[in-house]
Chains A and B, each alone.
Chain A
Amino acid sequence: MIRLKNVSFRYEAAKEPSLRDIDFTVKRGEFVILTGLSGCGKTTLTRVLNGLCPRFYGGEITGSYTLDGMDTAGMTLNEIGTKIGNVFQDPRSQFFATNTTDETALAMENRNYSPALMRSRINEVADMLGIRELLDRDIFGMSSGEKQKIAIAAACCVHPDVLILDEPSANLDPESTSQLAGFLKTLKELGMTIIVSEHRLYYLSELADRMIVMEKGRVKREFPHDQMSALTEGELTELGLRFLKLPEINRPERSSQREDSFLTVDDITFKRGRTCVLNRISMSAERGKILAITGRNGVGKSTLCKVITGIYRERSGSVLYYGGKLSPRKRVNSSFFVGQDADYQLYGATAREELLINMGKAPELAEKAEMLLTRFDLSEYSERHPASLSGGQKQRLLIAAAIMRERPLLVLDEPTSGLDGKHMRDLAVLLREAADSGLCILIVTHDTEFIALAADEVMNLQRDK
């Protein structure tokens, strides 16, 4: 179905090629995982496969790529797009329409299908995936899991031979992830060729016929299903990958309050418009401990943390630091919230300046910033613009900024979405050190592997009916 021969690709502005001498064949109906450390080139490889490189993301490509027996060199994006369907990582930026049915129809409208054919295809795909109830709804109000299902349905409507998914589980809770696995199983049984670029392997380990591990733009190792299943945790750690099975989590469940806690949330209610997002939530957390807050997509985990840190004002109830009730404004000054997207949160001209924003000019502070940069492995980048750093480096810089300000409470929203095994393990170590230095750390997360590594306690937020 797909044959790449000696393919190398270099982005226009880049000095080094992102892919080097890729030789890679995928048979019709095969299910392949692409994995490897962040920056290994797997996203670029999916872009070469769907034609975005070099047709959309300009650059220099060498070698040959044949798709279904045809040389792709003369094909347009549109032609490749009729054979290959795509599901991208970020649900916010892959939807064009505001209504689910419109979104599903988009690829067909662009190819001038008749309205009758479009309706029958939409119904066919919706039945196949069991998502009829998701049709004709407003996309902005849907959970990440539901959005992902619509993205898959939208890709399947034109009956592509191949489906390429780029980190489809990055924003999904465990339940939605297992539903995603069910979807992929259905599509595989229908004979579709499936390529998934992914860090989380556990939900794919049964389905995959082959796993390809990339490193620095090359194919480093290939494991057929049996060899892949036989990989030990030691071998996976060595490769920088996540594990094939989810760990058991047996952390103490924390939901009740304790008298002497550092942070106490007492009977908080928060409404958005008429919708009650948080209904009488109480919890507590300690300094020196890492508390993981789990729960399904859309249950209000991030909202709870935004109330705790004072971004949102509670409708009723109170938030206490050290037993004293604090106003939202004071809470903002006593905490630090690291959101999912680092791009929102970096304002300095250099990494060093990022730590010193609004901090004054005392020499002790500059010294402290230097020390933190070293401790977070960022000293060689101290003069770089924060935006030019990698995702993991940006995240470390933000955590350093939090410690710089000596805020006792650090909250991280989904810090491991899109992190490979190595960086996830590194982050766990780093947060442990931060907690040991006396911080109270809350992590909003779906990532069972990360919880097992990093959390002391778990709180499962549920929506009461």
Chain B
Amino acid sequence: MQQGRIYPLTSLDVRVRVLLLIPVSIAAMLITDETLLCCLFALAAVWLLMFGLHKKALAYILVYAALWAVLFPLREMQIPGSIPLLTVYVRRIIIAVMGAAPVMSAPTGRLIASLHRMKLPKTAVLSLAVFFRFMPTVSMEYRCIREAQKFRGIGTSIAGVLLHPFLTAECILVPMLMRTSKVADELAASVSVRGMQLEGECSSLHEVRMGAVDWLVLVLGFTAVAVLFAADRSIGGSV
């Protein structure tokens, strides 16, 4: 996580991030016009940059551009089946994932406090908090497993993976499940003895208050997505 440097939206209320995720992901799925979809993607990229998530933004831009570049030749060649479809849908999913990134980058304490203030049921708050706490762990565990497999020649060559896809998957999934279930168990034990439970009131160290900037970003965000959406409807769109 970036420390010391403050980006324009670093301290944006987590609720705004969660609320804006909703229209962005809906629009990402429903906008039909290619140009407008690209506009939405550009907005999402700017959104990430304002949180200082430069690397993520760059990675998504590259993937998006690559998919876009192959989409039209594929159509020209009239290749049937799932590949052209993939280039359409993966790009839409990327936009939604980009919308979620600033939620994940929020410190868990702030996230929980905000979700509480949104009056979500406690089960939902805890599940979401655990989910976001787990994302970095899962990717770390995955890396460790892949590193260890290199020494046993498992899944190291493309040919090997293609010849034995199930074996490769099993060799990743089994240790992954073992590890994550163990970590999950220990994590749950550690928060249970610290009084985390489904009943009862709890408080929050962070004061959560919507400031002027938070409202402004919320309104601007909604408006931008609404304008794109309206434009798309009026054109009629074409996929």
The chain A residues found within 8 Å of chain B, CB to CB, are: 50-52, 55-57, 77-78, 80-82, 84, 86, 88, 90, 92-99, 101-103, 105-115, 118-119, 137-138, 140-141, 154, 306, 309-311, 332-333, 335-337, 339, 341, 343-347, 357-358, 387, 401-402, 405, 407
Instruction: Tell whether, in the assembled complex, residue B194 and residue A110 are in contact, meaning their CB atoms are under 8 Å apart.
Output: yes
Which of B12-20, B151-159, B231-239 is near enough to bind chain A?
Answer: B151-159
Inter-chain CA distance A335–B151, complex, in Å, is: 7
**Interface membership of B214, Cβ < 8 A:** no
25 A-B pairs within 8 Å (CB atoms) are namely: A57-B189, A77-B192, A78-B200, A81-B192, A92-B137, A93-B187, A93-B190, A94-B187, A95-B190, A97-B107, A97-B133, A98-B107, A99-B107, A108-B205, A109-B203, A110-B196, A112-B201, A115-B206, A118-B205, A332-B151, A333-B153, A335-B151, A336-B151, A339-B147, A387-B178
Sorting the interface of chain B by its residue count into under 10, 10 to 19, 20 to 34 or 35 or more gives 35 or more
Instruction: Tell whether, in the assembled complex, residue B107 and residue A93 are in contact, meaning their CB atoms are under 8 Å apart.
Output: no
Chain A nearest CB: distance from B63 CB in Å? 20
Instruction: Tell whether, in the assembled complex, residue A138 and residue B1 are in contact, meaning their CB atoms are under 8 Å apart.
Output: yes
Given A78-B197, A93-B182, A306-B147: A88 and B190 interface contact (C-beta under 8 Å): yes
Chain A nearest CB: distance from B87 CB in Å? 30
The chain B residues found within 8 Å of chain A, CB to CB, are: 1, 3, 107-110, 112, 129, 133, 136-137, 141, 144-145, 147-154, 156, 170-171, 174-175, 178-179, 182-183, 186-197, 200-207
Chain A residues with Cβ below 8 Å from B203 are 108-109, 112-115, 118
Inter-chain CA distance A50–B152, complex, in Å, is: 41
Instruction: Tell whether, in the assembled complex, residue B154 and residue A341 are in contact, meaning their CB atoms are under 8 Å apart.
Output: no
Instruction: Tell whether, in the assembled complex, residue A311 and residue B109 are in contact, meaning their CB atoms are under 8 Å apart.
Output: no
Chain A residues with Cβ below 8 Å from B191 are 96, 106, 110
Given A98-B133, A102-B108, A346-B175: A141 and B1 interface contact (C-beta under 8 Å): yes
Q: How many cross-chain pairs have Cβ atoms below 8 Å apart between A and B?
A: 166
Instruction: Tell whether, in the assembled complex, residue B188 and residue A56 are in contact, meaning their CB atoms are under 8 Å apart.
Output: yes
Inter-chain CA distance A387–B175, complex, in Å, is: 9
Residue of chain A at shortest CB distance from B113? A109
Inter-chain CA distance A305–B120, complex, in Å, is: 47
Inter-chain CA distance A141–B144, complex, in Å, is: 17
Closest 6 CB pairs of A and B: A102-B109, A110-B195, A93-B186, A107-B194, A105-B205, A99-B107
Q: A113-B203, A344-B148, A347-B154 are in contact. List 12 more A-B contacts (CB 8 A).
A: A56-B192, A78-B200, A80-B193, A92-B137, A93-B190, A111-B195, A111-B202, A115-B203, A138-B3, A344-B179, A347-B152, A358-B153
Chain B residues with Cβ below 8 Å from A112 are 200-203
Chain A residues with Cβ below 8 Å from B107 are 97-99, 102
Chain B residues with Cβ below 8 Å from A102 are 107-110, 205-206
Chain B residues with Cβ below 8 Å from A82 are 195
Inter-chain CA distance A94–B192, complex, in Å, is: 11
Chain B residues with Cβ below 8 Å from A94 are 186-187, 190
Instruction: Tell whether, in the assembled complex, residue A93 and residue B183 are in contact, meaning their CB atoms are under 8 Å apart.
Output: yes
Chain A residues with Cβ below 8 Å from B147 are 306, 311, 337, 339
- Give the interface centre of A86, A311, A347 by most chain B CB atoms within 10 Å: A347
Chain A nearest CB: distance from B143 CB in Å? 10
Partner of B136, one of A80, A111, A140, A345: A140
Instruction: Tell whether, in the assembled complex, residue B145 and residue A344 are in contact, meaning their CB atoms are under 8 Å apart.
Output: yes
Inter-chain CA distance A311–B148, complex, in Å, is: 9
Partner of B141, one of A90, A309, A344: A344
Instruction: Tell whether, in the assembled complex, residue A97 and residue B189 are in contact, meaning their CB atoms are under 8 Å apart.
Output: no
Inter-chain CA distance A112–B187, complex, in Å, is: 21
Instruction: Tell whether, in the assembled complex, residue A96 and residue B144 are in contact, meaning their CB atoms are under 8 Å apart.
Output: no
Chain B residues with Cβ below 8 Å from A311 are 147, 150
Given A98-B107, A101-B205: A344 and B144 interface contact (C-beta under 8 Å): yes
Chain B nearest CB: distance from A189 CB in Å? 25
Chain B residues with Cβ below 8 Å from A115 are 203-207
Chain B residues with Cβ below 8 Å from A55 are 192
